[in-house]
Amino acid sequence: MHPKELSIIDFTYELPDERIARYPLAERDQSKLLIYRNGQISETIYAELAAHIPANSLLVFNNTKVVEARLLFEKPNGGRIEIFCLEPHEQYGDITTAMLQKGKVWWKCLVGGAKKWKEGALISQIEKYDSSEITLTARKIEQYADAYLIELSWDDADMSFAELLHAAGVIPLPPYLNRAAEESDQERYQTIYAKHDGSVAAPTAGLHFTNSLFAKLTQKNIRHSFVTLHVGAGTFKPVKSATMQDHEMHAEFIDVSAAFIEQLLQETAGPVIAVGTTSLRTLESLYWLGVKTKLDPLISAEALTITQWEPYELAQYNFSAAEALTALLDWLQQNQADRLITKTQIIIAPGYTFRIIKGLITNFHQPQSTLLLLVAAITGDNWKKIYQYALDHQFRFLSYGDGSLLWL
């Protein structure tokens, strides 16, 4: 069956509200870890992860950093309007470029309380870290079907948009936590290795990793490396269509170095394990980007993206991982680029054949979500057994919850 024909109702389960973890555990690596391999389920904790991964494996992490994407404005009459920064306008080549803009930026946003914002600009006074004030102004440029194009400007010519968000914004916790962000979330809704500003949601599988855990992995010669996929709000987008063919998968920016692709090319013989669904989507997208460069070595940078059904349309070519990654490296060299920055819309669901990864470390996901489809692509119908085990054995669910190690 082609994944387009999948019915989302077949990927549901009952998630009691009390099983949603509203807060993280005091110690990151003490979260429970379910292990699924060859149809068998066992459990441990993240601190003991190294005992369950072979030496010479490669763990791949997403080092994106969550930005304070929620901006709050008070109207003179006391009404509050929230601007949620989703993604930069297409005039910017990538998120990093947009984040470095100074003085003004155009951003696609959700607007909470939009009916209260009839016309004119919204203005907010922001206190900087040195106690001086700057003025932040928001203007509506265009209305889309599901969002607005907003011009945000501020009167500090030396301040980047990333710095502006750090000073003025609020961490955007997932809506299902159903609580306001607190000071502790500033640290805990962020991996310890977060580096590149750009996500509006954390790559939550990585929240469980500590320096102590990394030391244990290194001691066993389990290597690790980093890619960057900036997580968009679309990761929480519910599947509202009856079948997947009518669901539009969200697109996300990926940023990967040529040096990482070279490393991955050397590691394809051993187990490559994605830490988080975003890392997995990036790794598998690299394969299909490589296929496209192998089929067309002169493909333009603008055309070198992955749409949601392309992997299934290109599957007939069946190149090895080494062939695809080598072609991608050749393309980067021909284009004198040491980084690949593009967008992927890849949807991974039952019927998908994995080309790079052998395992996934991930949290427990919402019913009827594309993330649950991805889990089912790895485990088949056993996803039901895995999730029922987690419910029966008091695992904590969603972003601040426990996790799993799933082997192909």
Average pLDDT over residues 217-243: 87
For 115, the token pair is 């009916």
The SS3 call for residue 406 is strand
The SS3 call for residue 73 is strand
Task: Say how far apart CA 304 and CA 2 lie, in whole Å.
Answer: 24
Give yes or no for residue 129 having a pLDDT over 70. no
The radius of gyration of the chain's CA atoms, rounded to the nearest angstrom, is: 21
β-pairing verdict for 133-143 and 122-127: antiparallel
Task: Give every CB contact of residue 323 below 8 A, 6+ residues apart in sequence.
Answer: 290, 294
The CATH code of domain 3-65+190-407 reads 3.40.1780.10
Give yes or no for residue 75 having a pLDDT over 80. no
Please give the pLDDT value at position 369: 93
Read off the amino acid at residue 320: S
Average pLDDT over residues 25-32: 98
Give yes or no for residue 236 having a pLDDT over 70. no
DSSP letter at 140 equals E
Task: Give every CB contact of residue 20 below 8 A, 6+ residues apart in sequence.
Answer: 176, 177, 396, 397, 398, 401
Could you read off the pLDDT of 143-164 as tens digits, one per residue? Answer: 988 889 999 999 998 999 999 9
Give yes or no for residue 269 having a pLDDT over 80. no
Determine how many CB atoms are found less than 10 A away from the CB of residue 337: 13
**Which range scores top for mean pLDDT: 87-101, 131-145, 248-262, 314-328?**
314-328
DSSP letter at 2 equals -
Task: Give every CB contact of residue 312 below 8 A, 6+ residues apart in sequence.
Answer: 2, 3, 351, 352
Average pLDDT over residues 126-148: 86
The SS3 call for residue 243 is strand
Give yes or no for residue 208 having a pLDDT over 80. yes
Determine how many CB atoms are found less than 10 A away from the CB of residue 244: 24
CA nearest to 201, candidates 239, 241, 230: 230
In angstroms, what CA-CA distances link 357 with 130, 229, 246, 283?
A: 46, 16, 27, 7
Task: Say how far apart CA 345 and CA 139 lie, in whole Å.
Answer: 29
Read off the amino acid at residue 91: Q
Domain ranges of the chain: 3-65+190-407, 69-170
Q: How confident is the model at residue 395 (pLDDT cuts 50, 70, 90)?
A: very high
Task: Give every CB contact of residue 332 below 8 A, 6+ residues apart in sequence.
Answer: 258, 261, 338, 340
Task: Say how far apart CA 377 and CA 372 lie, in whole Å.
Answer: 9
Please give the pLDDT value at position 74: 84
Name the pTM for this structure: 0.94
Task: Say how far apart CA 191 and CA 209 lie, in whole Å.
Answer: 7
The chain-wide mean pLDDT, for the chain, equals: 93
Residue identified by tokens 């194009």 is: 149
Read off the amino acid at residue 399: S
Task: Give every CB contact of residue 230 below 8 A, 6+ residues apart in sequence.
Answer: 64, 95, 196, 198, 199, 252, 253, 254, 255
Please give the pLDDT value at position 93: 84
Distance from chain centroid for Cα 269: 26
Please give the pLDDT value at position 239: 83
Task: Say how far apart CA 376 and CA 10 lie, in whole Å.
Answer: 11
Listed in order, strand segments (DSSP E) in 239-290 are: 252-257, 272-275
Distance from chain centroid for Cα 60: 13
CA nearest to 71, candidates 52, 85, 50: 85
